[in-house]
Structure 1
């Protein structure tokens, strides 16, 4: 199962926001990585550099590697609707992201691991594929024997965000993917149009 295994704080500092979730190391050093940090003279970025950076940010945010992200973009470009918005909807519909949004894991990385270790059930069947596309109406829950896991219990206890496209029951650890979120509902700071422009060249 391919996934990014490199440093996370360094990447977050590059983009100037904690895209991997709460990070105490990032909070202490909110400036670009490298020997000179703020002191380094950075010229104006080219149009291509800006577009590439936005694509990289989206990939790191959702934990998707290049080939898979490109495939998702091609699928989004063939679908009805605005390509950039559809792309983000595909990202939000990934099982690992839905598990994260429900509050069953503190980060998307943790959610990916929970799914990979067969702790999640979709419509009564165990699914261990993080990229599994959840559809409106699908019911996602924690396996009965996994409900006592400390990472899940502590995450649910501290969950603070509710999303209008997801219903979740804290007592049964069961949620429903009510509908595909519209762009204005998705809180991620991603300029998807730049990604579309990059791939359209």
Structure 2
């Protein structure tokens, strides 16, 4: 049987690493705008590309574990961590793409002849972009926290120690699946046992 000692630590490290990537992107987005300025389209394109890549990373991590059939590992807690993080990550993607659309509008009409209607439209686009960027930042923070908490929660007790514990004492947040012990063999019974003969 494969020795999986240390695998829980590796899974936790990967969750922490991906959490930090979301946090780094959040920091980059925060630095790209202020209450009176917005990111340019080149910067926004880089951020959108990075966010798209991170969302894909979440699905790839789930796919890798969902198709793993190792009888000694139960990836349920790890898969749940990635799928739970996909919800706020998806909201971040949705909000950033809406901001991206408004940035495109502002770029297109940046040098158009001024008019009252256009000024109102530009202001509206600016306000919507600010709002969507704020929501993106919040969702990226939620994704980071979700992954961090999930990594903290996964139990790292080695398989050999788990095997020595009673079933009721084993943690439910372990990724190690202990082999099922076969039932103890009982006495062999014959299908038919003739009655003993009695002497006459």
Pair in the same fold by TM > 0.5: no
Higher helix share: 2
Higher radius of gyration, 1 or 2: 2
| TM-score, length of structure 2 as denominator length | 0.28
| TM-score, length of structure 1 as denominator length | 0.28
Higher strand share: 1
